[in-house]
A and B are shown apart, each in its own frame.
Chain A
């Protein structure tokens, strides 16, 4: 059965902290792994990862994929209150479907 697991499910930190969010997966035909940030309604696309070991960066956010160990991490450095959100990990099962993880709820306190 295809599945995506995220950990931790929730996390509370203070501004300035660095956080690492984890996503592991088991799917039939992996094509890519996507990270989204969900604040209100529609998730905002962050990264798409297809190759192992290549870090993708956008400002204070970065992500990397390990296709051998079947996981990805999302790092956020120098967190700000505006980073508070649910971070979703999803795996594209080679165009057949998407498998979403449960999300990690991040709360950044001032």
Chain B
């Protein structure tokens, strides 16, 4: 079946630094990838929709300058959390769309 990977799986960084998270579709091409953030009660919040070769579409309330998304190829999208702060600590999950959405395993970000 379709596989989506994320790297790194876990990252700890200092406040003020930037962190890049990669999302890859391993065996299919995804023109659209989605980035989610998981909140404490297990709900997933859609942050943005990433389209290959064009600018990402951000959901209301998500700062585009803070969460930079680049969809450089049909198999890779990256999310960069710029100037990270402790409140950015969370679980970030991507999904890639083909016939349905295939979810990555997530990246746990801890900002100290």
Interface residues of A (CB under 8 A from B): 34, 36, 38, 41-45, 48, 86, 88, 90, 93, 95-100, 102-103, 105
Q: Is the interface of B mostly helix, strand, loop or mixed?
A: strand
Considering only CB atoms and an 8 Å cut-off, how many residues of chain B contact the other chain?
21
**In contact, B36 and A42 (Cβ under 8 angstroms):** yes
A-B contact pairs, 17 of them (CB 8 A): A38-B101, A41-B34, A42-B36, A42-B44, A43-B44, A45-B41, A45-B43, A48-B42, A86-B101, A90-B103, A97-B105, A98-B105, A98-B106, A100-B102, A102-B1, A103-B101, A105-B100
> What's the nearest-Cβ distance from chain A to residue B36, in Å?
6
B82 within 8 A of A: no
Specify the chain A residue showing the minimal Cβ separation from B38: A98
Name 14 extra pairs, CB < 8 A, besides A42-B44, A42-B46: A34-B42, A41-B34, A43-B44, A45-B42, A45-B43, A86-B100, A86-B101, A90-B103, A96-B10, A98-B91, A98-B103, A100-B102, A100-B103, A102-B1
Q: Would A36 and B100 be within 8 Å (CB), given that A98-B93, A98-B106 are in contact?
A: no
Give a binary string over B22-45; 1 marks a CB under 8 Å from any A CB, 0 the rest.
000000000000101000011111
